[in-house]
Amino acid sequence: MPRVVGISFRRVGKVYHFDPGELDPREGDFVIAETSRGLEFGEVMIEAREIRDDELVAPLKKIVRLASGQDLEREADNRESEKHAFDTCQSKVSEHNLPMKLIDAERSFDGTQITFYFSSENRVDFRELVRDLSQALNLKVQLHQIGVRDEAKLLGGYGTCGRSLCCATFLNNFEPVSMKMAKDQSLFLNPAKFSGACGKLMCCLKYEHEFYRDAKTRFPAVGAVVQTPRGEGKVVDLNVVSGTLTVQTEEGVSFQITAGELDLAGCCRKHGHGCPMKEQGCQAISVTSEQ
């Protein structure tokens, strides 16, 4: 199995596998690695380990060396020059009256190329802008249009929880988030309530979705009929975290009860007690020792 090291080239960027060769870099070390864009300055995020061949997505490129003091100085100079280049690009965008919002600038380690990231509601013809920038900066210039989630990742900020945005602190990849996840977690189906700074559904809906999805197989659904010590009743609410159900009797009396107090063995999750489970969607509740 190949031995690899995980390296990221941007703040909270995607982690790529590289061949460390004879080197043994530690997490947090800075290295110079061979990439498709030439030599690049990166940070070790995952120390050397062996992985299966089918986990590799492309031929492994090599880590050239551990970053030296001179490499660190060059990287710092590149980051400083990005500020000037960003201001220049912003000025040129205004001159050309282009409908685009400049987000970030990234200069390559060798200093010969700079990439500008921008957002826009529509496609933008920036050919004239690229020519002007190449002449003004004396560099090869590339412009990349990014989406709102990538914009939030680059700009950073705070979520409704009061903490820094997940995408700007530790999320390396964006995974699909759907309204079904919100429904499975019994959230009010109002997207404005659980949309992030980017305007899309919050990434954190993904974190607990598997727990809620699996937990619900152990409880009767809302509307199911269950037998309780206080008689037969219908489930009108469910809290999978605490393991409690709110049950309403035929007389209209509601009370809370834990799943452990109910005999749910063989009970249909959708319809509850007495269901022959012959209809579509019928499924027996998964009873565990915890219940």
Are 203 and 225 in the same domain? no
Identify the pLDDT of residue 51. 86
Q: Are residues 87 and 110 in the same domain?
A: yes
* CATH number of domain containing 103: 3.30.300
Question: Domain limits at 161?
Answer: 152-207
CATH number, domain of 266, equals 2.30.30.60
pLDDT of residue 12: 73
Query: In this predicted structure, what is the pLDDT of residue 264?
Result: 85
Task: Give the number of domains in the chain.
Answer: 4
Positions in the chain short of pLDDT 50: none
Query: 40 and 88 in one domain?
Result: no
The last residue of one of the domains, among 207, 234, 250, is: 207
Q: Are residues 136 and 156 in the same domain?
A: no
Provide the 8-state DSSP code for 272: B
Q: What angle do CA 45, 32, 57 make, to 5 degrees?
A: 60
Same domain, 26 and 40: yes
pLDDT tens for each residue of 182-232: 888 878 777 788 889 999 999 999 998 998 888 888 888 888 899 898 888
Strand order in the sheet with 254-258: 225-228, 231-239, 244-249, 254-258
Q: Are residues 125 and 186 in the same domain?
A: no
Which pairs count as long-range contacts for 53-58, CB under 8 Å and 24+ apart, including other chains?
53/1, 53/2, 56/2, 56/4, 56/17, 57/17
What is the predicted pLDDT for the residue at 40?
94
Give start and end residues of each alpha helix (H) in 156-261: 166-169, 179-184, 209-215
Residues 103 and 158 in one domain: no
Among 146, 164, 186, the domain-final residue is 146
d(CA 207, CA 198): 18
Same-domain status, 251 and 279 = yes
The pLDDT assigned to 251 comes to 87
Is residue 46 located within the same domain as residue 63? yes
